[in-house]
Amino acid sequence: MHYQPKSDLLNHRIILVTGASDGIGREAALTYARYGAQVILLGRNAEKLQRVSDEIGALGKAVPLVCQLDLATVTPESCHAFADRLAQQIPRLDGVLHNAGLLGEIVPLADLAPEIWQQVMRVNVDATFFLTQALLPLLLKSEAGSLVFTSSSVGRTGRSGWGAYAVSKFATEGMMQVLAEEYKNRNLQVNCINPGGTRTKMRASAFPEEDAAKLKTPAEIMPIYLYLMGDDSRRKTGISFDAQPGRKPGPAE
Ligand code: NDP
């Protein structure tokens, strides 16, 4: 994507990123801060989140709020309690990037352990839904809110072996479409990003044989992440975007 954002694109925007401790989420948090946003880092590992917060502080940018929440164990009640605590610290949310995700195991569905199925669904679908429900009131306080979900090519066309992960990403696309319809006349846009193969630890565990040097880095796929959080994408809603348009799914060639 060729997109040249203004350096102050996200000034005065307050953006929460889940899975901000590593990979694409870490890069998105750093990028949003660089472009002026006040960021809220959500993840399960306090130490890793603090390191990201320190990096943002070292850029001379607004010090992020760090929120430790394990999405594998959240409930609707704990998500509402989290949103209530957040509402005491911030006036509104202008953006939420649901980025945290779990791969599970790459095995045929016939062999997939039910516990793995449940873990993947819990993090990728249930927690995303609970958190979205809890954060909607804060998002609707924004003049122009943006809710972004993270999809995958296997969330659009099923692929052998991708089991619970693929099914969870179909559910994510569905959640995005339903919400986009429900809020189409309100000040909230709802979209998905499919990052495409990107150099992270999740990617390395899915494709251990792949030459990672052939993959885009998280920093290289940031244009669409910026576009969807800033004013240039206003009124775009209900769309599943590709961070790497034209990239063929599967191992890097
Ligand atoms: P990583 O595994 O590198 O990072 C995942 C992030 O999610 C980490 O911050 C991780 O925390 C966090 N996370 C995982 N489980 C939980 C949990 N239970 N509670 C809170 N946080 C959690 O993955 P990527 O950066 O590669 O993936 C980011 C998103 O992009 C995912 O939704 C993934 O499905 C999607 N995606 C990635 C692609 C790729 O090629 N990389 C391709 C297509 C989609 P911790 O640091 O503690 O592990």
Question: Is 168 near ligand 1, meaning CB less than 6 Å away?
Answer: no
Q: What is the mean pLDDT of residues 100-115?
A: 97
pLDDT at 125: 98
Residue 1 has pLDDT above 90, yes or no: no
Ligand 1: atom nearest CA of 197 is: 40
Give the whole-number percent of the chain exceeding pLDDT 70: 100
Question: Is 202 near ligand 1, meaning CB less than 6 Å away?
Answer: yes
CATH number of the domain located at residue range(s) 14-242 in this protein: 3.40.50.720
* 3-state class percentages of the chain: helix first, strand second, coil last, to nearest 5: 45, 15, 40
| Sheet arrangement for strand 95-98 | 65-68, 38-43, 14-18, 95-98, 145-150, 188-194, 240-242
Tokens of 30: 């750093």
Single out the residue of 33, 32, 34, 52 nearest to residue 42, CA to CA: 52
pLDDT at 80: 98
pLDDT at 101: 98
Q: Domain map of the chain by residue range?
A: 14-242
Tokens of 46: 């306090």
**pLDDT tens digits, one per residue of 197-238:** 999 999 999 999 999 999 999 999 999 999 999 999 998 999
pLDDT band at 93 (very low <50, low <70, confident <90, very high): very high
**pLDDT tens digits, one per residue of 130-159:** 999 999 999 999 999 999 999 999 999 999
